[in-house]
Amino acid sequence: MSLSDEKRRELGVELYQALRSCKSVAPFTDRFDDIEIEDAYRISEYMLAERLEKDGEKISGKKIGVTSEPVQKMLGVFQPDFGFLTDAMEYNNGDSVKIEGNLIAPRAEAEIAFLLKADLQGPGVTEDDVLRATECIMPCFEIVDSRINDWKIKIQDTIADNASCGVYVVGEERIDPNKVDLPNLEVNVFKNGEKISEGKGSAVQGNPLTAVAWLANTLGEFGIPFKAGEFILSGSLVPLESVVAGDEMHMELVGHGSATIKFI
């Protein structure tokens, strides 16, 4: 039996308050044996509604999380999740993000951002549909953060918590997705000038196009479309990296561009 709508709303508000206070909460999966993925998605909608209504934020895109095997093993979550991006989460390339009062336990993910030129809505969205709807791809860092204590999450916890989204930054280069081999697109990640990881586009469900099509079809089940002008984040190509004030993260899509984000 799933949670009541009243309880879903209550938990969405709880997560919104955790976001604004930068104080994490106990995992929902420890507190409610009967919480389902449907509950989690509705909780995330109530959390998002608080941001849109109380803070005037606007939806700028969607994100896929927990798509690659290294990230799944790190978090102990073995299926993808999904969440919303807002304009308040977006930073410019090279910007500094203040951690105190803004983030709780941030971790950096190197991703590919898809900028859409046409609407898409599942079910039935294919990789070719995604390619036709994409204006360009861009190098991207998503900084994930968890409002759940100590990242002790199961799939219901992270979905409820807007897929553990914190902030994101996209690079300045706009890359034609028709002119690159997306599964074999290489990424190198540097922390404070030292290379720490590398990966390929194939890390996300074998092909970033596959991951984005999955998200379009999954959100389509809830009546949620992709909109032209939105960013869609593919999921991390490399293991997550914890960051603290003073760190600088830099990623390179080999031969195609880069993105940098700093923390203070």
C-beta separation of 190 from 61 below 8 A: no
Question: Which pLDDT tens digit goes with each residue over 119-132?
Answer: 999 999 999 999 99
Q: If you write DSSP's letter for every residue of 95-139 in order, what string do you get?
A: -EE--TTT-SS-EEEEEEEEEESS-B-SSS--HHHHHHHEEEEEE
Question: Which pLDDT tens digit goes with each residue over 71-130?
Answer: 566 666 556 778 999 999 999 999 999 999 999 999 999 999 999 999 999 999 999 999
C-beta separation of 97 from 261 below 8 A: yes
Q: Within 10 A of 35 (CB to CB), how many other CB atoms are there? A: 23
Sign of the alpha-carbon torsion through 125, 127, 132, 138: positive
Tell me the CATH number for domain 59-263: 3.90.850.10
Spans of the chain below 50 pLDDT = none
Please choose, from the candidates 149, 210, 142, 197, the residue with its C-alpha nearest in 3D space to the C-alpha of residue 171: 142
Q: What is the pTM of this model?
A: 0.92
